[in-house]
Amino acid sequence: MKCPEIETLSSLEDTQLVSELLKGQTKAFDELYRRYEAKLMGFLINKSYSRELAEESFQLVWEKVYKKAPTFKNDLSFSTWLYSIAQNTIIDKYRRYEHKKNYLQYISDRSESNQNITHNSNLKSESLYSFIEKLKEPYKSSLLYKYKEGLTNPVIAKKMNLKDSNLRKILSRGIRKLKLEFAAEPNNREQNNKTSEEQINE
């Protein structure tokens, strides 16, 4: 049988639970955890190349939620805020785990267009945003919203006053243009030529 305190918390909205957490009510955090535990893990597994990475990120996300609770704004839903933190956590993880999987390939694989940005790239994730900055609008803003700020498609569409279907097209085209920007870099052309020569000599 649940105690009255827990029953009361379970009836509160997410934003109200955050408010209770800020008042020192730690059980409010437990209730948020209970509500989103399974959904968050599913989200992280879908975004990760291994369950191990998803589980590591899962713990980090909840630590960040607890620490960043004072920065939560009520004009944003808790779920959107939570998944934004999760997306940024995964991105940070990929920056550290570049030896396991190229970051550009990651965002390409996870894009709704399922198109490859590049196959033979040694581009470091820290350089990704500089390539995106070279793109024209609306490709630049849409890609920065998605991969730098970690926003979901519905949130991006609302910010850019676009239909979801139009946003998906823009993201798809933006990824193709990003691939071309990367391929146009002298260092990358040299690397691709070197790779081709090595294949010929084998």
pLDDT of residue 192 exceeding 70: no
How far is CA 105 from its chain centroid?
14
Cβ–Cβ < 8 Å for 92, 55: no
Rounded Cα gap, residues 201 and 182, in angstroms: 26
Q: Residues 83, 162: one domain?
A: no
**Threshold 0.75, pTM exceeds:** no
Q: Residues 50, 140: one domain?
A: no
Write the DSSP symbol of residue 144: I
| 134 occurs within a structural domain | yes
Indicate the residue type of 194: K
The pLDDT tens digits of the residues spanning 126-176 come to 467 777 888 889 988 898 888 777 788 888 999 899 998 889 899 888 888
How many separate domains does the chain show? 2
Q: Which of 98, 118, 99 is nearest to 108 (CA)?
A: 118
Q: Find where tokens 């350089």 sit.
A: 127
Rounded Cα gap, residues 179 and 107, in angstroms: 12
Q: Residues 152, 173: one domain?
A: yes
The pLDDT tens digits of the residues spanning 77-118 come to 999 999 999 999 988 877 766 544 455 555 555 554 433 343
Indicate the residue type of 178: L
| 167 occurs within a structural domain | yes
Rounded Cα gap, residues 44 and 52, in angstroms: 10
Rounded Cα gap, residues 46 and 186, in angstroms: 34
At a CB cut-off of 8 Å and minimum separation 6, what does 65 contact? 29, 32, 82, 85
Q: Range of 202's domain?
A: 102-202
Mean pLDDT, all residues of the chain: 76
Q: Which residue has the higher pLDDT, 1 or 136?
A: 136
Rounded Cα gap, residues 60 and 90, in angstroms: 10
Cβ–Cβ < 8 Å for 83, 154: no
Domain boundary among 101, 121, 146: 101
Q: Collapsing DSSP states into helix, strand and coil, what is residue 95?
A: helix
The pLDDT tens digits of the residues spanning 10-51 come to 889 999 999 999 999 999 999 999 999 999 999 998 887 778
Q: Which H helix or E strand runs over 68? A: helix 51-68
| 4 occurs within a structural domain | no
pLDDT of residue 122 exceeding 80: no
Cβ–Cβ < 8 Å for 171, 146: yes
Rounded Cα gap, residues 103 and 126, in angstroms: 9
Domain boundary among 101, 131, 165: 101
Q: Residues 47, 90: one domain?
A: yes
Domain at 166, CATH number: 1.10.10
Q: Residues 112, 198: one domain?
A: yes
| 185 occurs within a structural domain | yes
